[in-house]
Amino acid sequence: MPFKNLSAPKAIASLKAEVVGSAQLETHDLFGVVTTDPVSLSMHVVSATTPGKITNVSLGSASDLALINRDVAIVRSGDDLWALLDIQHKPKMDQVGRDIKSLHGCPKGGTALAIGWDGQAAALELRQYEVGGRQFALRGQVRTCDLGPNECFIVVDGAGGGQFRVHPGLTPEAGASAKVDLPAEVAKWDLLRGGREMSVLFKKGSPQVCAIARDGKGNLSAKLVMLDAAVLGLAVMATSVFTIATDGKVRLFNGDSINRATGDEPIVPTATVQIPMRGEPTVMAATYKGYARLWIGTRAGDLIRIEAAKGGLGDFTG
């Protein structure tokens, strides 16, 4: 059954600094966000509405976050990677990487993937009491990446708009289990949300996205879809796509409306809710253990949560 409704928004925290990255840890029902200027790590129990634990971090900036377990996080600061150990108490900082283009955490925890500027990558994990990495060479120029619980989704530069690939496991080392060429219009798009049934490549500030659907036989198809507002953040759950737009509204687009989309005509959202917030939205993420929840962070430090339901309004937890 597709998602049909969105709950009223709930204010979870006011972090007083720009939210720049997020990560979930399904195994411990945790969701974390990192802010910059100043840098802090905020950990929240997914099913709770009480404020989470905030830990200040002595870094000049931050941009990405991955959670290895409830005590260990990795933060990208500029092109450097820093492991934060014992984050539930007084964290110890340890530099674990340099010249890093992007950092991607696994929703289940346990590992993270670091993409370097030099065509190399590293699978990061906790080894006894420190974070270590197994390095390997990437196949092609990886533009963007996302990790699911058991799959790695990447976009590789090439002819036209490049190629979207799905790899089994949590790195792109194994041969792709599925791939599809992308339209030329997306050659510079660099944000990806991967999913088992639906993935989306997009560019911040554009109302157009590239929806990549996977059928029951594992075959992929990609097409451009015009939405009704410019996208600042996006999340995917099953066949549904959720966006936060420049007008401060969260929109739900179910798979049927995306599949029917043609040409440049904007598709109509299945549900919409206005977010009361300070500052432009900067981060959007989804957690889907138990209830389906959307998290929105803003430039002013607000953290807001919304629930998505497949039935009526009575399906929300309240």
The Cα 31–Cα 240 span in angstroms is 21
Determine the pLDDT at residue 2: 85
Task: Encode pLDDT of 136-182 as tens digits.
Answer: 999 999 999 999 999 999 999 999 999 999 999 999 999 999 999 99
Which two structure tokens, joined as six digits, stand for 250? 């969260």
| Residue 247 scores a pLDDT above 60 | yes
- Residue 159 backbone dihedrals phi, psi, to 5 degrees: -60, 150
DSSP codes joined into one string, 281-305: EEEEEEE-SSSEEEEEEETT-EEEE
Q: Characterize 236-274 residue by residue with b for buried, 16 or more Cβ atoms within 10 angstroms of its Cβ, and e for exposed.
A: bbbbbbbbbbeebbbbbbbbebbeebeeeeebebbbbbe
| Residue 25 scores a pLDDT above 90 | yes
Share of the chain above pLDDT 70, in %: 98
Share of the chain above pLDDT 90, in %: 87
Considering the chain, what is the average pLDDT of its residues?
94
* 3-class DSSP state of 314: helix
* 3-class DSSP state of 92: strand
| Residue 198 scores a pLDDT above 60 | yes
Determine the pLDDT at residue 64: 97
- Cα 144 to the center of its chain, rounded Å: 12
Task: Encode pLDDT of 72-130 as tens digits.
Answer: 999 999 999 999 999 988 889 999 999 999 999 999 999 999 999 999 999 999 998 89
Determine the pLDDT at residue 318: 47
| Residue 237 scores a pLDDT above 60 | yes
Q: Tell me how many helices (H) and strands (E) the chain has.
A: 1, 29
Segment among 49-58, 107-116, 162-171, 265-274 with least mean pLDDT: 49-58
Gyration radius of the chain over CA positions? 19
Which two structure tokens, joined as six digits, stand for 175? 């041969």
- Residue 222 backbone dihedrals phi, psi, to 5 degrees: -125, 140
Average pLDDT over residues 197-212: 97
Determine the pLDDT at residue 315: 54
Structural domains of the chain, ranges and CATH numbers in brackets: 1-16+196-318 (2.130.10.10), 19-138 (2.130.10.10)
Segment among 10-19, 129-138, 256-265 with least mean pLDDT: 256-265
Task: Encode pLDDT of 289-308 as tens digits.
Answer: 778 999 999 999 999 999 99
| Residue 314 scores a pLDDT above 70 | no
Classify residue 69 by burial, with Cβ atoms within 10 Å: 0-12, 13-18, 19+. Answer: middle
Q: Report CA torsion sign: 127, 132, 135, 139.
A: positive
Q: What is the DSSP letter of 256?
A: H
| Residue 316 scores a pLDDT above 60 | no
Assign 312 a pLDDT band (cuts: 50, 70, 90).
low
Determine the pLDDT at residue 291: 86
The answer, yes or no, to whether the previous bond of 183 is cis (omega within 30 of 0) is no
292-298 and 302-309 beta bridge pairing: antiparallel
